[in-house]
Every structure is written in structure tokens, then in C-alpha cells.
């Protein structure tokens, strides 16, 4: 569900005309809908009614300060993966004391920063990490709250680069070894066992993998509660969104039509599947959704530079590239592409960026309308793992970001200047 809709052949984000917005802020430009994010948060929270739930937004999906402020105002906590993310939450006025710190490679500095800011819990991925946390907590004369990330070894049925819950993945402690690691934690003086955690992958569009993982974990979770008095079970994130027909998915009737057929995940379907498995555990349930919260709440606006016609293939060359939105090149991801102003012109073409890489391609043999030179296109479902994965390849500046709320729009990240791009570079004297 999202708030990007056509009115009279013009694409709006809430009450803002996206062609006018592109004219004002330039392209490439990410645009986010605050209303969509609020609605996603509300729906997910509501679908888990009956549980004692805390939603820790996985901010790596979109860590813009304005987006973090919005989540903070909604009452969300955060799933953090770096010292930089801790600092972002502090800067946005969010609460570290209810947030969790995840990741396989936490440095000593990051652990210290999290401890000093009173992080709610560390999600521990290995024994050496546990011992390091114990050492640093001892030095600071603090007790470090921890949960062990257990790898339940279930197949999330998603892309190989984003599956995390199989035994061959680098994430978590193998299921059978979890009791040993909890025993180790119990023997460390400066850690306090607080919970247990799983996260099986990303862009999961069926309920079955979530159900399988929770069912497998239940006996262990009950044992940990009895033995160590854990107070929470984090069931991770990974809820998938609609990438195909992303435009149509903004229409509630579309979900009714595909319901059952495509088995796409809605928060309601997710809630119906997991709540019965969790509600009698007597534990706080943490959720760490990233993509679901923001994915469909953002688009990337890009302008057509050239239309290049060749005998066997057409190319629509746009001013965004793989450095701005990496997902198609990295995950072979599908993104729907539509014009911000519809017209009669039609073309079947590859939509490509200007970078000299075959992978710099957003779509192959796509049927497009309103994609002539100078026209603006919206690349859908770009709110998650979009701007945060952008870079400067080809000395292209980081794009801008705009947040829309009703009829208001504010630039929340300015387009990078050339001076900013080269600010940290130096030519040494000996040259």
C-alpha cells in the first residue's frame, strides 16, 4: 500500500505533483511519502494485536534523519548495525535505550558507544563477540544486556544474496549450538542475558518460512525463559513488499484481487500466521522490519536524457544510474517504471543509466509510456535499500531526497556538490 497515484494522468505523491517536484528539486531525486510510512507502521502494529510488541525499525533500509525522526514520533525503536547508525538515531532524537544493536562485526568502539548510550540489547552473533562485549562492559563497570542470534536453518525462499537463515550463511549461532553459547553467556560476569533473536532473510513474500522458523524456535525459547529468565524474543524482519505491479499495489482492490493467488504478504496475513504461535510465550516480541516500512513509500525520479533507437533494441537513457539505485545491478531486482505525466507515446526499450557498465540497467525490454527526451520517470519501490546503498561511481554526486507529507514537501538531503565529493581527497607534496 502506498500514496503514489495518478490523478488526471499526473502522478502524485500524496497531494504533491511529482513532475513539479522534479522541476523544483532536479533529478535524480528520491521522494518518500510520510503518510505511507505512518500507515505501514500502524497496519503492522495493528496486525500484531494481542502480543506485547515492540517494533524496532531496521534503519539500514533508509536512514535519512527526517525518516528516523518520523519513526521516532510514531513510537518506534531501532535495529542498529553500526556506530554511525547509533549516532544518526541520537541526532534524530530517537531512543537508544529501547533499541537493539545487531551485526556480525561489531568493533570495540561501536560496542562501547552502544553501552555508553544504554542500548536495550546486543544481538550477539558469535562467542568471540560475546567475550569482547563482556570485556568492554567490565572496563566501563556496566552490565551488557544480550540476546543470541540463533540461526534456525530454514530456507526463506528468497534471493541468494539476501537469505540469512540457512546454516551456510555467516549469520547467527547454529541452532544446535545455542544452548552452549547461552551457558557461556551465563558464566560471563559483565553480561546479562535478556532475550533471543532470529532473522531468516529479506523480501520474504510467504508466511511459511516465518512460521517454520518460529515453530522450530519455540521449545528453545521456552527453555531459555525457564533457565535464564529471558524477557523477549525478536523474530527479526524480512517482510517482503510488492515490486511487480508496485503501482497497482497502492490500490486496496488490487490486494483483494491477488489475495490467495499470488500469496503476497500483507501485515494482516503475517499477523494471522505468527500471533497464535507467540501469544502464550509470555515474552515481549520484538520485530525488526526495514523494507516493509519504507520500500513502497519511496520512488526515484529520473529524467530521460536520450532515446536511442537501434534495429533490434531501443534504449531509454536516463540521468539516474546504478550508483544511485544499486538493486537492479546487485540483486537483479525488478522495479516498476512509470511516467510522472502520462501521454500517448509508447516505446519498448531497455532503461539504462549513463555509466559504462552493462549492469547499469534498470529494466530490459520494458513497455513504457511518456518516456521521451526530457520526460521524468518514477522508479517505484525505491524507498528501501535505495539511497543508503548509493555511491559516487563515475564521480556522480549523491542524489537528493525529498519527504512529502500531505501537500508539503521538503528536501531532506541536498544533492551533493563537486566540492563535497572531493573534500577528503588530497594530492601529496611529492607529486
Ligand X SMILES: *Cc1c(COP(=O)(O)O)cnc(C)c1O
Just list the catalytic residues: 356
Q: Which is nearer to ligand X, 125 or 405 (CB)?
A: 125
CB under 6 A: which stretch of 53-61, 305-313, 358-366, 410-418 binds ligand X? 53-61
Size of the site for ligand X (CB under 6 A): 16
Q: Is 125 in the site for ligand X (CB under 6 A)?
A: no
Indicate the residue among 153 and 319 with the shorter CB distance to ligand X: 153
Query: Three-state SS for 14?
Result: coil
- Binding segment (CB under 6 A) for ligand X, from list 43-51, 68-76, 232-240, 249-257: 232-240
Residue 129 interacts with ligand X (CB under 6 A): yes or no = no
**Binding residue (CB under 6 A) for ligand X from 28, 152, 209, 236:** 236
Give yes or no for a contact between 234 and 100, defined as CB atoms under 8 angstroms apart.
yes
Asked if 237 interacts with ligand X (CB under 6 A), we say yes
H or E segment and range at residue 55: strand 53-58
Buried b (16+ CB within 10 A) or exposed e, 366-402: bebbbbeeebbbbbbbbbbbbbebbeeeeebbbbbbb
Q: What gap in Å lies between CA 148 and CA 22, rounded to an integer?
A: 46
Binding of residue 163 to ligand X (CB under 6 A): no
User: Rounded CA gap, 75 and 231, in Å?
Assistant: 20
* DSSP letters for 383-400: SSSSGGG---TTTPPPPE
State which of residues 238, 328, 383, 386 lies at the interface with ligand X (CB under 6 A).
Answer: 238
Contact in structure between 198 and 235 (CB atoms under 8 Å)? yes
205 binds ligand X (CB under 6 A): no
Give the nearer residue to ligand X in terms of CB position, either 170 or 364: 170
Q: How many helices, marked H, and strands, marked E, lie in the chain? A: 13, 21
Closest CA to 63 of 39, 27, 97, 99: 99
Nearest distance in Å: CB 386, ligand X? 12
Q: Cβ 197 to ligand X, closest distance in Å?
A: 7
**What 3-state DSSP class applies to 416?**
coil
Q: How far is the CB of 205 from ligand X (least distance, A)?
A: 11
Q: Which of 61, 136, 241, 379 binds ligand X (CB under 6 A)?
A: 61
* Among 23-31, 183-191, 234-242, 360-368, the segment contacting ligand X (CB under 6 A): 234-242
Q: Does 199 bind ligand X (CB under 6 A)?
A: yes
List the interface residues with ligand X, window 87-116 (CB under 6 A): 102
Among 48, 55, 58, 337, indicate the residue that binds ligand X (CB under 6 A).
Answer: 58
Q: What SS3 class is residue 207?
A: coil
Among 289, 298, 339, 399, binds ligand X (CB under 6 A): 289
Q: Which stretch binds ligand X (CB under 6 A): 57-65, 182-190, 326-334, 410-418?
A: 57-65
Please tell me the distance from the alpha carbon of residue 300 to that of residue 161, in angstroms, as a whole number: 23
Applying CB under 6 A, among 16, 53, 70, 79 the residue interacting with ligand X is 79
Residue 303 phi/psi, 5° resolution?
A: -100, 145
Residue 288 binds to ligand X (criterion: CB under 6 A): yes
Beta pairing, strands 361-369 & 298-309 = unpaired
What span, in angstroms and rounded, lies between the C-alpha atoms of 102 and 80? 6
Query: Could you say which of 27, 33, 40, 202 contacts ligand X (CB under 6 A)?
Result: 202
Asked if 58 contacts 289 with a C-beta cutoff of 8 angstroms, the reply is yes
DSSP notation for 94-113: --STT-EE--TT--HHHHHH
Residues forming the site for ligand X (CB under 6 A): 58, 60-61, 79, 102, 199, 202, 236-239, 288-292
Amino acid at each position: 500500500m502506498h500514496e503514489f497515484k495518478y490523478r488526471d494522468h499526473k502522478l502524485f505523491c500524496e497531494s504533491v505533483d511529482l513532475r513539479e517536484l522534479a522541476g523544483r528539486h532536479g533529478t535524480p531525486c528520491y521522494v518518500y511519502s510520510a503518510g505511507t510510512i505512518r500507515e505501514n507502521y500502524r497496519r503492522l502494529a495493528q496486525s500484531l494485536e494481542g502480543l506485547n510488541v515492540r517494533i524496532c525499525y531496521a534503519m539500514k533500509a533508509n536512514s535519512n534523519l527526517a525518516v528516523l525522526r518520523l519513526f521516532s514520533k510514531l513510537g518506534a525503536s531501532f535495529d542498529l548495525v553500526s556506530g554511525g547508525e547509533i549516532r544518526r538515531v541520537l541526532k534524530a532524537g530517537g531512543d537508544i535505550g529501547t533499541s537493539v544493536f545487531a551485526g556480525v562485526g561489531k568493533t570495540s568502539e561501536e560496542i562501547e558507544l552502544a553501552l555508553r548510550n544504554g542500548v536495550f540489547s546486543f544481538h550477539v552473533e558469535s562467542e568471540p563477540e560475546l567475550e569482547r562485549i563482556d570485556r568492554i562492559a567490565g572496563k566501563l563497570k556496566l552490565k551488557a544486556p544480550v540476546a543470541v542470534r540463533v540461526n534456525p536453518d530454514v530456507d526463506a525462499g528468497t534471493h541468494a544474496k539476501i537469505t540469512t537463515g540457512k546454516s551456510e550463511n555467516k549469520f547467527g549461532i547454529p541452532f544446535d549450538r545455542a544452548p552452549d553459547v547461552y551457558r557461556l553467556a551465563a558464566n560471563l560476569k559483565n553480561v546479562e542475558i535478556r532475550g533471543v533473536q532470529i532473522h531468516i532473510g529479506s523480501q520474504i513474500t510467504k508466511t511459511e518460512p516465518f512460521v517454520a522458523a518460529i515453530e522450530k524456535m519455540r521449545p528453545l525459547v521456552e527453555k531459555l525463559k525457564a533457565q535464564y529468565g529471558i524477557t523477549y524474543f525478536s523474530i527479526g524482519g524480512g517482510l517482503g513488499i510488492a515490486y511487480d505491479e508496485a503501482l497497482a499495489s497502492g490500490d486496496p482492490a488490487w490486494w483483494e484481487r491477488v489475495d490467495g493467488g499470488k500469496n503476497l504478504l500483507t501485515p494482516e496475513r503475517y499477523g494471522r500466521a505468527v500471533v497464535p504461535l507467540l501469544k502464550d510465550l509470555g515474552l515481549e516480541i520484538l520485530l525488526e522490519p526495514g523494507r516493509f516500512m519504507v520500500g513502497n513509500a519511496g520512488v526515484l525520479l529520473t529524467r530521460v536524457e536520450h532515446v536511442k533507437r537501434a534495429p533490434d533494441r531501443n534504449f531509454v537513457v536516463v540521468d539516474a544510474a546504478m550508483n544511485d539505485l544499486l538493486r537492479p545491478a546487485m540483486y537483479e531486482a525488478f522495479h516498476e517504471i512509470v511516467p510522472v505525466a502520462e501521454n500517448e507515446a509508447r516505446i519498448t526499450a531497455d532503461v539504462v543509466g549513463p555509466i559504462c557498465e552493462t549492469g547499469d540497467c534498470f529494466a530490459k525490454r520494458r513497455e513504457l509510456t511518456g518516456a521521451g527526451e526530457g520526460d521524468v520517470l518514477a522508479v517505484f519501490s525505491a524507498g528501501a535499500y535505495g539511497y543508503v546503498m548509493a555511491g559516487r561511481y563515475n564521480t556522480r554526486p549523491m542524489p537528493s531526497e525529498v519527504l512529502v507529507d500531505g501537500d508539503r514537501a521538503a528536501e531532506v538531503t541536498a544533492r551533493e556538490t563537486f566540492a563535497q565529493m572531493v573534500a577528503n581527497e588530497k594530492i601529496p607534496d611529492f607529486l
